[in-house]
Homo-oligomer: A and B are copies of this chain.
Amino acid sequence: MSTLDDVLSTIDANQSDAVARLFELLAIPSISASPEHFPDCDRAADWLVRELQALGFEAVKHETEGRPIVTGAAKAKGRDAPSVLFYGHYDVQPPDPLNLWNSPPFEPRIVKVGDDERIVGRGACDDKGQLMTFLEACRAFKQGGGGLPCNVKMVFEGEEETGSQSLPAFMAKHGKELSADLTLVCDTSMWDRETPAITTMLRGMVYEEVVIHGPKRDLHSGLYGGAAINPIRVLARVLAELHDENGAVTLPGFYDGVEELPEEIAEQWRDLAFREDRFLGDVGLSVPAGEKGRSVLEMIWSRPTCDVNGISGGYEGAGAKTVLPALASAKVSFRLVGKQNPEQVSKAFRAFVKARLPADVTAEFTNFGASPAIALPTRSEALRRARRALEAEWGKPAVLAGSGGSIPIVGVFKRELNMDSLMVGFGLDDDAIHSPNEKYERSSFHKGARSWARILAALGA
């Protein structure tokens, strides 16, 4: 019998222990946004170091300016095996609002729903459950398969939920040790609960805050209204003009670097039979709001967008107040695709606003992020092998998916180490990551580990 079968059998046999190990990690409230939980972030990092050492990995906890970063490394059993770097994060989102949880967020438990079992707790999916699928796969190779089929390195950070501030400097310093043939990331979703997915497109982002200043102080709209310029009126006009009648973004040059979807991907997406009505219907909508003539999947995966994420100005309390405010502000973000240049988009936005300011009005800008989109190769050998491996596990071909969200770290790997990433994850749309009652299907956890075992075996073959 092949080694892979032994490995898969070992994973199956170890399920209870694997869940127990995950529960230990889930019980640590490693919330990177809360200073009072910084010690818990350290505990989670220490826990990972011990786990890696128990697996025979060399493991190190590195102090940073923020939360510690854990690295691990172990050799393949054979020579000339390829090397992979697995990335995950041990920090989690804050659990509030606490009152909406059905059980305490850091007391993980199994909840049965029909025939399914769910692992419930903060981080169950994002990203503790997902990263443990990879550790369990490695364990099975060590215990039941005679050794790893690839040289495996790992890096776990503790600031993914707060912007990965320490990671770029760490990568710049430790790049050489971390360098590998391919990065593996387990922080994305499946297409649906039966169909695996490899995410190959990630949108980038530019996030700007603009404050429009008019009169030097708040005025009484009865005494000055009509004569004094109202910054909300100016802001409304600027924001209204960011989209045209067809839902396209009007910033000059905005679509520079945006390419049409390759026909093979477009065709694959059409074949997915994505239910636009259900996707929108779930959130109370029926008509797509983006560019006319585009499918919803294009709108959320492969087309750039502009959204106003927040707006504020004047009197926002209950009832009426006749103020003519001194300022108004908006938070505006752009999701980028293809080769759109974040700096150019930021510049174009600022110029767009300034061109629309009447006399006496000024604009002040703050940038909260600028990262390009990422498109990973869809025809590489590694991807082909991973797809075959996933199909063997799930019985269905893996979808090559886009993601509307951004995972900036994938760009950092590419820039700093010139490494492409293979993003395979086992989350589901209803996992409620960042929300109360976060869960991870037990089948995702179990078959996720099996999937990684198959992928590692395929890459090392």
State whether the Cβ of A203 lies closer than 8 Å to any Cβ in chain B: yes
In the complex, what residues of B have CB within 8 A of residue A34's CB?
317
State whether the Cβ of A305 lies closer than 8 Å to any Cβ in chain B: yes
Q: Which of A356-389 contact B (CB under 8 A)?
A: 358-360, 368-369
In the complex, what residues of B have CB within 8 A of residue A93's CB?
321
How would residues 317 to 328 of chain A score, 1 for a CB under 8 Å from any chain B CB and 0 otherwise? 111111111001
Cα(A340)–Cα(B150), bound, Å:
78
State whether the Cβ of A299 lies closer than 8 Å to any Cβ in chain B: yes
Given contacts A310-B323, A314-B308, A406-B222, contact A236 B227 (CB under 8 A): no
Given contacts A241-B240, A284-B360, contact A432 B217 (CB under 8 A): yes
A279, A318, A436 — most chain B CB neighbours (10 Å) = A318
Nearest residue, chain B, Cβ from A329: B316
CB <8 Å contact, A286 and B360: yes
How would residues 398 to 442 of chain A score, 1 for a CB under 8 Å from any chain B CB and 0 otherwise? 000001111000000000000000000000010011111000000
State whether the Cβ of A313 lies closer than 8 Å to any Cβ in chain B: yes
In the complex, what residues of B have CB within 8 A of residue A333's CB?
221, 225, 320, 322
In the complex, what residues of B have CB within 8 A of residue A369's CB?
320
Nearest residue, chain B, Cβ from A215: B283
Nearest residue, chain B, Cβ from A162: B319
How would residues 71 to 106 of chain A score, 1 for a CB under 8 Å from any chain B CB and 0 otherwise? 000000000000000000000011010000000000
In the complex, what residues of B have CB within 8 A of residue A368's CB?
319-320
Nearest residue, chain B, Cβ from A189: B223
State whether the Cβ of A70 lies closer than 8 Å to any Cβ in chain B: no
State whether the Cβ of A207 lies closer than 8 Å to any Cβ in chain B: yes
CB <8 Å contact, B33 and A215: no
Nearest residue, chain B, Cβ from A305: B226
In the complex, what residues of B have CB within 8 A of residue A242's CB?
233
Given contacts A214-B285, A217-B435, A317-B94, contact A324 B311 (CB under 8 A): no
A214, A280, A310, A436 — most chain B CB neighbours (10 Å) = A310
Q: Which of A94-129 contact B (CB under 8 A)?
A: 94, 96
CB <8 Å contact, B285 and A228: yes
In the complex, what residues of B have CB within 8 A of residue A433's CB?
220
Cα(A239)–Cα(B242), bound, Å:
14
Given contacts A369-B320, A404-B224, contact A328 B311 (CB under 8 A): yes
Given contacts A279-B227, A404-B224, contact A308 B219 (CB under 8 A): no
In the complex, what residues of B have CB within 8 A of residue A151's CB?
none
Q: Which of A283-313 contact B (CB under 8 A)?
A: 283-291, 296, 299-300, 303-305, 307-313
Shortest CB-to-CB span from A45 to chain B, Å, is: 19
Cα(A15)–Cα(B311), bound, Å:
47
Nearest residue, chain B, Cβ from A294: B226
In the complex, what residues of B have CB within 8 A of residue A404's CB?
220, 222-226
How would residues 330 to 355 of chain A score, 1 for a CB under 8 Å from any chain B CB and 0 otherwise? 11010100000000000000000000
Cα(A318)–Cα(B32), bound, Å:
11
- Name A's B-contacting residues (CB within 8 A): 33-34, 93-94, 96, 161-163, 189, 203, 205, 207, 209, 214-230, 232-233, 235-237, 239-243, 279-280, 283-291, 296, 299-300, 303-305, 307-325, 328, 330-331, 333, 335, 358-360, 368-369, 403-406, 429, 432-436
19 CB contacts below 8 A, A to B, read A33-B317, A33-B318, A162-B319, A217-B436, A219-B435, A223-B300, A223-B429, A225-B333, A226-B303, A232-B330, A233-B239, A236-B236, A285-B360, A286-B359, A310-B313, A310-B321, A319-B368, A320-B333, A320-B368
| A-B pairs with lowest CB-CB distance, top 6 | A222-B405, A216-B284, A320-B368, A310-B314, A236-B239, A226-B305
List 12 other contacts, CB 8 Å, given A217-B432, A226-B303: A162-B319, A162-B320, A205-B222, A217-B435, A224-B283, A225-B305, A226-B300, A227-B289, A230-B307, A233-B243, A235-B236, A315-B331
